[in-house]
Chains A and B, each alone.
Chain A
Amino acid sequence: MSEQAPLLSIRDLKTYFVTGAGAARAVDGVSLDLYPGETLGIVGESGSGKTVTSLSILRLIPEPPGHIMPGSLIEFEGRNLLTLSAAELRAVRGNQIAMVFQEPMSSLNPVFTVGDQIAEVVRVHLGLSKPEAWIRAVDMLNQVGVPDADVRACEYPHQLSGGTCQRVMIAMALMCRPKVLIADEPTTALDVTVQAQILELLEKKQAEMGMSVMLITHDLGIVAGAADRVLVMYAGQVVETAKTEDLFANPQHPYTAGLLASVPRLDGGRGSLTGIPGSVPPATDWPSGCRFHPRCPHAWDKCRAQEPPLLDGPNPGQSARCWLVEEPNRRKAP
């Protein structure tokens, strides 16, 4: 996959927020590539910067207090999204790059029918008339697996279940056949059974439309099932990136290993799960050296003093921001 040119590439993205306690470096030097047709999973705890990264792509960060620092680059089809005018950016939003949010119920306006809201997207981007747009909206509702789409299109969000609302949001996102779909925790607010259906739907539409998906989640189970490659974020940085199977088989960064160890497994033994001690430090005050060292079981002097770069790991395409990659014999047995 990496032979192809990336569709979307981010270089050294820094998104800071002005707060009372100083600048919060929510995203601090993130680089990533998204290739055509692939699913990239982005995982991390709350506060690791994954949502801010996704919002920065379409410049949806509230400014002020948020600010994307100069020197950041978000290149989509040869254009830097960060330098586009407001009108040019609107032509990309929803049209070429679309987003699905976490809370499907509150992401829909309660006073309009869902069909009206789906139709709105093509009225904005393609300038279709109301009846034309409506026909497309009903068709798309059908495609995302909403039964009786023509009846449902006339209903209001409060009349629909959470799962159906999320299907509506996906329909809205797919109306213009975007090249990139950013799904920010698309299943977090849903029941487990509905989660699986929504992920299946995303996978199916991705295959049909050939789009790339950026799947942001804190749930490693979702990543394991859906993503081709995974990017692990911690404290505003990418700490590890790898093909999904390599990441699960052979995590290089202790944080990744910790995340994997804290997920219950069907084939695991009984007994308590191992968690990662502590929590993500505040973004105004990242630790010196490796940002994970205060919580890392393997940390030694070098980790406290010197921040590791992304180092290439044992598998092709795998890299981790950890000195252990260079000095594997310091890794303690679990």
Chain B
Amino acid sequence: MTTRPTVALIGAIVVTMGIVELLRRRTRHADGWRRFFAHPAAAWGLRILVFFTIAALAAPLLAPFDPNAQPGIVTLQNTAPSWTHPLGTDLYSSDIWSRLVYGGRVSLGIGLLATLVAMTVGVTVGAIAGYTRGWIDGVLMRLVDVGLAVPRIFMLLLAVAYWDRIPLLTLILLLGLTGWFTTSRLVRAEALSIRARPFVDAARALGASPIRIVARHVLPAAAAPIIVSAVLSVGNVMLLEAGLSFLGFGVQPPTPSWGTMVADGQGQLALAPWTSFFPGLTIAIVVMSWNAVGDALRDAFDPRPEQM
């Protein structure tokens, strides 16, 4: 590894530590955030997530090589970790560390964007169902029941089978559109309880429209459970994406994603275990971090004991 990536790596770690430490100090007097940092794994989870986010954003600085370059398909294939290739090279002689850093862009990006799609749909459906009640609520919630009854991975495999090489945006949409069911239930429950409060009647008596009542009274009250379920969803989506990519239905080569990298290495596990091990380890650590942060956020901000 040359000087630039080394310096960039150290820089990324320092910045990560700094950001989390700053956040901890700034929020020392806020009850919720104090409870958040009291969670045993929250701070480390947050550091890991911040680090991989910075790494993904600054991938060109951190990666010593072009992630898709295949400098010596015969001579450099499956080389063990060394100073030049800190995590070794894969079957195609590409540098694994570089692919890992660039793959973070894809994997994290899919996780975040698909969650955004899921939250948008879930919040909209939940708010409509909970606010209008009646038959609209009935229809939407039966739809959600169906969605929850079918395992998500089956739905995804069915949908993904339509494409030969699935475009990235389609993959994101599919992941998002199969992940909004529990969120819509959370928001619906919140909408039902808020709309029964007298201040909603008062707002209606003063001429507020349903959209305004939802935006102003229902969504702020539902913000905490929505954020918690969003954070937990990111980890979940990343895991699904890795699974799909491993099976060859997700991100298509040569675009690096952590899931495809694990798949690339599976053929020579005995020969070159590092090819699958490092991306696999990264997936595990990052997904665990999302879960730890989501869990801590729930403990800190969401008073409900347990969710569906």
Contacts and interface: CB of A to CB of B under 8 A. Distances in A.
Given A111-B220, A124-B212, A93 B206 contact: yes
Contacts of A87: 209
Nearest to B194: A109
A128 to B, nearest CB: 14
A32 B46 CA distance: 65
Contacts of B205: 58, 60, 93-94, 98-99, 101
Nearest to A118: B206
B207 A103 contact: no
Contacts of B198: 101, 103, 106-107
A94 B206 CA distance: 4
A81 B209 CA distance: 17
A108 B217 CA distance: 11
A101 B216 CA distance: 20
Interface in B203-218: 203-209, 212, 216-217
A124 B206 contact: yes
Contacts of B204: 60, 93
Interface residues of B, number: 18
A112 B219 CA distance: 13
A256 interface: no
Contact of A95 (B202, B203, B207, B209): B207
A124 B72 CA distance: 67
Interface in A214-249: none
B217 A172 contact: no
A169 B216 contact: no
A137 interface: no
A304 interface: no
B227 interface: no
A154 B7 CA distance: 49
B13 interface: no
- B contacts with A: majority SS: helix
Interface string A147-174: 0000000000000000000000100110
A185 interface: no
A101 B206 contact: no
A173 B205 CA distance: 9
Interface in A59-115: 60, 64, 87, 90-95, 98-99, 101, 103, 106-109, 111-112
Contacts of A109: 199, 203, 216-217
Contact of B207 (A94, A107, A108): A94
Contact of B199 (A95, A98, A108): A108
B207 A111 contact: no
Interface string A232-271: 0000000000000000000000000000000000000000
B226 to A, nearest CB: 15
B178 to A, nearest CB: 33
Nearest to A96: B207
Nearest to A125: B207
B206 A172 contact: yes
Contacts of B217: 109
A124 B205 CA distance: 12
B221 A107 contact: no
B207 A124 contact: yes
A106 B197 contact: yes
A120 interface: yes
Contacts of A60: 201, 204-205
Contacts of A172: 202, 206
Contacts of A93: 204-207
Contacts of B216: 109, 112, 120
B224 to A, nearest CB: 11
A107 B206 CA distance: 11
A92 B202 CA distance: 14
Interface in B160-189: none
Given A109-B217, A111-B220, A124 B208 contact: yes
Nearest to B202: A107
A169 B203 CA distance: 11
A121 interface: yes
Contacts of A112: 216
A99 B203 CA distance: 10
Contacts of B199: 106-109
Contacts of B134: 64
Most B C-beta atoms less than 10 A away, residue of A107, A108, A112 = A107
A121 B201 contact: no
A90 B201 CA distance: 13
Interface string B270-301: 00000000000000000000000000000000
A204 to B, nearest CB: 21
Contact of B221 (A99, A103, A111, A120): A111
Given A106-B197, A111-B221, A124-B212, A101 B207 contact: no
A301 B209 CA distance: 52
A176 to B, nearest CB: 9
Most B C-beta atoms less than 10 A away, residue of A90, A95, A109, A124 = A109
B76 to A, nearest CB: 60
Nearest to A101: B202
20 contacts: A60-B204, A64-B134, A90-B207, A90-B209, A92-B207, A94-B206, A94-B208, A98-B205, A99-B205, A101-B201, A101-B205, A107-B199, A107-B201, A109-B216, A120-B206, A124-B206, A124-B207, A124-B208, A172-B202, A173-B206
Interface of B: 134, 197-199, 201-209, 212, 216-217, 220-221
Given A90-B208, A101-B198, A101-B201, 16 more contacts: A91-B207, A92-B207, A94-B207, A99-B205, A101-B202, A106-B197, A106-B199, A107-B201, A108-B199, A109-B203, A120-B208, A124-B206, A124-B207, A124-B208, A124-B212, A173-B206
- List 8 tightest A-B contacts by C-beta distance, closest first: A94-B206, A94-B207, A93-B207, A107-B202, A99-B205, A106-B198, A109-B199, A90-B207
